[in-house]
Amino acid sequence: MVIMGSNGTSGLVEAVFGSVTKNVIANCSCPVLTVPLNAPDTKPEKVAFATNFDEHELQSLFLLAEMLKPFDAEIHLLHVGEIKDMKHQDQLLNYFRGQVRTNINYEKIRFHLIGGSDVEDEIEKFVISNKMDWLAIAKRKRNFFDRLTTKSLTNQMHHHSYLPLLVFHTTNKSATPLF
């Protein structure tokens, strides 16, 4: 794992030059923990893990659980879905919950499904209202079309987060073995 400080550069400077932290997150294959300049200096007791309920995130969640076992920390799996599609999102949650319970031996995992269209805003509200210590995200390699049409949630959260952000890199291959 790479651990590095972050000063949250944003605006025009970020758009033109980028940041060292952003480049490390993009190019490093191991997990990267970014710690903002004014982040609280506490051990992780509650960690939010933003998920899309994708099978390729199971490896990242397994690693997160292993990392947090010595701290006995809670992991809060958080998914933000469109309000009009909550029935489908609930089915995905139930399937993913089964996969997690079958494949990951960690009792302190909680599941949260939140309706909303602004994913970044809903994650931030959840993190604040539930007093999370860290935020974790599984970053996948986005294809050319995705990069043209959508912003990277990982990059958005990195620049606006006041909490340590733990980024895992995943592959788009399903059925990634846990071991």
pTM: 0.81
Count of Cβ atoms closer than 10 Å to residue 77 Cβ? 23
pLDDT above 90 covers what percent of the chain? Answer: 46
Cβ atoms of 48 and 132 within 8 Å: the answer is yes
27: phi then psi, degrees, rounded to nearest 5: -110, -10
pLDDT above 70 covers what percent of the chain? Answer: 76
Weakest mean pLDDT among 151-155, 164-168, 171-175: 151-155
The domain limits of the chain are 2-37+45-170
In CATH, the architecture of 2-37+45-170 is: 3-Layer(aba) Sandwich (3.40)
Give Cα 89 distance to the centre of its chain.
18
Q: How does residue 81 score in pLDDT terms, banded at 50, 70 and 90?
A: confident
